[in-house]
Structure 1
Amino acid sequence: MEWLTAEEQAAWRAFLQATYLLEDHLDRQLQRDAGMPHVYYALLSTLSETPGRSMRMTELAERVKITRSRLSHAVSRLEGNGWLRRESCPSDRRGQIAVLTDAGYDKVVETAPGHVQAVRGAIFDRLSAEQTAQLGEIARIIAEGLHGPDGTDVPWLR
C-alpha cells in the first residue's frame, strides 16, 4: 500500500474540511430561510427539474444519494408540508413515485434565490473564472471515477 504524500494528505484534509463546512453552511442557510435541511431541498429541486416533476422513489434516493429509509422519512415530512405526494407506480405495484406538488414547486422557486446566493458566496465569489473551470473539471473527474466513465449515475456529467 502506498500512503498519501504530505501534499496529498494536506489536499485531502483541506477537501474534507471544505466539504463539511460547505454542507453545514448550506444546511443552516436552508433551515433559516426555508425551514428545511439541505437534503430536503435537494429532493424538491431534483423533482422540479424532472419531466412531470416526478420520479420513482428508488431512483430519487439514488440520485440524491440517500438511503431508501431516509428518503421515506423525508418524503413523509415533505408530504406533511404539502410539497410532495406519493403515487403508486403503474408498472410496479410495489413501487412508488414521488411527485412534486404545485406548492412544492412554489417552495423551490421561493427558496432558490437565497440558496444560489449562499452557494455563490461560499464558492464562486471566492474563485476566479479559471479556478471555477478547474473546480468543475476536478469534480467531474472524481465523479466519473466513482460512478464509471459513462456517467449513468451522474446526469450532469452527460
Structure 2
Amino acid sequence: MNDVVVPVSEALIANEGDGFAIAQARLGPGRIHHCMRAIGLGRRCHELMVERSLVRTAFGKPLLRHGMTQEKVADSLAALECARAITLVCADKIDKVGAKNARDSIAMIKYKVPELVLKIIDDAIQVHGAAGVHKMTVARIESKRAIGRLKAKL
C-alpha cells in the first residue's frame, strides 16, 4: 500500500509553480471573512459599551452623560461604519476585478479593520473597567504638574 506511485501529470491540480498564485487567490475572500467576523465582534463590544455606560455612574451621573464616554461611543460607531464600508468596497472590487487586481483593497482591510476594531474593544474595556475616566485623571495630574512648573517660574 505504501508503494503506490501517482504520476506527476495526474497529481497536479494546475501547472507546476502555480501553487503560490492559487493560495494567494484564496486569501482575498478569506480576508473578507475575517473582517466581517471582526466587525461583528466590534459591533457587540460597542453595544456592551453603550449598555454599560447607561448603568454605571461616575460623579453622580451615568457614564454616557459624560463627554469622554460620549466621544468613545460616537467614535466606535464611526469606526464600525468605516470598517464596514472599506470591507464592502473590497468585496465589491474582488467580485468585479478579481483578488489579484484588488490587492490594494485587500491589503487595506487586512490592517485597517483590525486596527479600528481593536480601538473599539479597548474603549469598551475602559468603560467597563474603571468608569472610563482614565484620560481625565491623567489630564488632571498633568495640569497640576504644569501649574507647579508655572508657579516655580514666577
- TM-score computed with the length of structure 2 as normaliser: 0.27
Select the structure with the greater relative contact order (CA < 8 A; seq sep ≥ 6): 2
Q: Which one has a larger percent helix, Structure 1 or Structure 2? A: 2
Q: Which one has a larger percent strand, Structure 1 or Structure 2? A: 1
